[in-house]
Amino acid sequence: MLKPVELTLEELGDLAEVIPGDEPELKVSIPRIPISELDMERTIIPVCEPALQGNETRYVMDCLNTNWISSAGKYINLFEQSFSRKVGCGHGIACVSGTAALHLIMAALGLGPGDEVIIPTHTMIATAYAVSYTGARPVLVDSERRTWNMDLGQIEAKVTPRTKAICVVHTYGHPVDMDVVCKIARRHNLYVVEDAAEAHGALYKGRPCGSLGDAAAFSFYANKIITTGEGGMVTSNNLELAETVRTLRDHAFSKERHFWHKYIGYSFRLTNMQAAVGLAQTEQMDKFVSWRRENAALYTSLLQDVPGLTTPAEEPWAENVYWMYGVLVEDQFGISRDELRLRLAARGIETRTFFIPMHLQPIYYADYKGERYPVAEDLCRRGLYLPSASSLTRREIERVVEAVKACRS
Ligand SMILES: Cc1ncc(COP(=O)(O)O)c(C=O)c1O
């Protein structure tokens, strides 16, 4: 029977202070007899929520009315084509999740035991999982302070004869400096994979994230910039790689005979109904991205004079899509990140902490014991994201900012 890997805070020693406290309980306190408009406003502001006001219902009803509810059907092709074109790619392969998209890429690259893939330690666990699923080993790199992305200056020191790929993550929607990554990859003959799960519509030097390496993985989980409820897509401009991913996604049925398998395949197909939602969402993607950028600009302008709060960066060559509007709570702020979360939750405002680095995860801790990644550790200790949905109103953002300021005093 499978047993969980336990890791106590005592075992972590001084690193225990990096690990976020328990999730605060969200509270709303609307007085029974509201006496002002402000009382009526005391509803929960979630950290993220989808916006489904386009053609979603119409397209899904079309699937139901025509009986095309599984993974065959026109919406799969339409979604794959429209989304992959939007991110500058000739090929898109829709699948069940962003994690599955990463897994399919790693499998299609032929990774296996003995291989290594360089990833940032500051990421969502799926980046590491996808490497581990193949039997290869994730090799970790620290983050840099400005964009919170992988510190590209530290990659080459981690390259060994076993390294097969670099998997970058466009963290929270800020693009990685891909020219630098591709140059390193060319020098060492490595594949470049983009984990673009959080970066729909983000631009690097005017080019879309998701089109800048050998292949990219997007997530369409409900908190992503566009959603299919659950879902993902591999995008690529490499026909051979794309065809292998397409084959692997569907049990690796071969073209010449249906029940004839030349690879270990996966059952990772998206349904036509999910793709119907995805198509409707893709139609609105530009709007969602510009709302997110406007919301971020408003947050930054309202928060910039708050001492001890670091707001997200945008490099001159980048268009950040602010999947999540993250801030760092510095010592100067006066209370800790965890205390700020508690106080915001008591005002009905939901937040999330930044990622817990891979080297501090119970499941990976023994593999990286003794390795330290000070920037990622500091991001984990100080980072939180504020409500970030595309559909946030100006008043909601103002309410969050007022609450952040009130929590300090
Ligand atoms: C960076 C990153 N990679 C991969 C994933 C996995 O995507 P999914 O939840 O669709 O499997 C996520 C999801 O949040 C993510 O943030």
Query: 146-180, pLDDT tens digit by residue?
Result: 999 999 999 999 999 999 999 999 999 999 999 99
Per-residue confidence band for 409, with pLDDT thresholds at 50, 70 and 90? confident
% of the chain exceeding 70 in pLDDT: 97
Q: Is the pLDDT of residue 296 over 90?
A: yes
Q: What is the pLDDT of residues 369-407, one digit of tens each?
A: 999 999 999 999 999 999 999 999 999 999 999 999 999
Q: Is 48 in the pocket of ligand 1 (CB under 6 A)?
A: no
pLDDT, residue 38, reads 56
Q: How far apart are CA 275 and CA 266, in angstroms?
A: 19
pLDDT, residue 166, reads 99
Per-residue confidence band for 43, with pLDDT thresholds at 50, 70 and 90? confident
Per-residue confidence band for 28, with pLDDT thresholds at 50, 70 and 90? confident
- CA of 198 from ligand 1 middle (Å) equals 7
Q: Is 173 in the pocket of ligand 1 (CB under 6 A)?
A: no
Q: Is the pLDDT of residue 351 over 60?
A: yes
Q: Measured from the CA of 169, which atom of ligand 1 is nearest?
A: 1
Give, for ligand 1, the residue of 47, 48, 99, 123 to mutate: max count of ligand atoms closer than 8 Å to Cβ.
99
User: For the sheet containing 163-169, what is the strand order?
Assistant: 91-95, 232-236, 215-219, 191-195, 163-169, 116-120, 137-141
Q: What is the pLDDT of residues 53-103, one digit of tens each?
A: 999 999 999 999 999 999 999 999 999 999 999 999 999 999 999 999 999
pLDDT, mean of residues 306-317: 97
pLDDT, mean of residues 309-318: 98
Structure tokens at 223: 């908190």
Calculate ∠ Cα 18-23-24, nearest 5°: 120
Q: Is 127 in the pocket of ligand 1 (CB under 6 A)?
A: yes
Per-residue confidence band for 29, with pLDDT thresholds at 50, 70 and 90? low
Q: Is 284 in the pocket of ligand 1 (CB under 6 A)?
A: no
Q: Is the pLDDT of residue 317 over 70?
A: yes
Q: What is the CA radius of gyration of the chain?
A: 22
Q: Is 171 in the pocket of ligand 1 (CB under 6 A)?
A: no
Region of 157 (left: φ > 0; alpha: ψ -120 to 50; beta: rest) is alpha
- CA of 340 from ligand 1 middle (Å) equals 26
Q: Measured from the CA of 230, which atom of ligand 1 is nearest?
A: 10
Q: Is 282 in the pocket of ligand 1 (CB under 6 A)?
A: no
pLDDT, residue 27, reads 82
pLDDT, residue 77, reads 98
pLDDT, mean of residues 295-305: 97
Q: Measured from the CA of 220, which atom of ligand 1 is nearest?
A: 10
Mean pLDDT of the chain: 96
% of the chain exceeding 90 in pLDDT: 94
Q: Measured from the CA of 171, which atom of ligand 1 is nearest?
A: 1
Q: Is 219 in the pocket of ligand 1 (CB under 6 A)?
A: yes
- CA of 197 from ligand 1 middle (Å) equals 5
Q: Measured from the CA of 97, which atom of ligand 1 is nearest?
A: 10
pLDDT, residue 34, reads 55
Q: Is the pLDDT of residue 231 over 80?
A: yes
Q: Is the pLDDT of residue 122 over 80?
A: yes
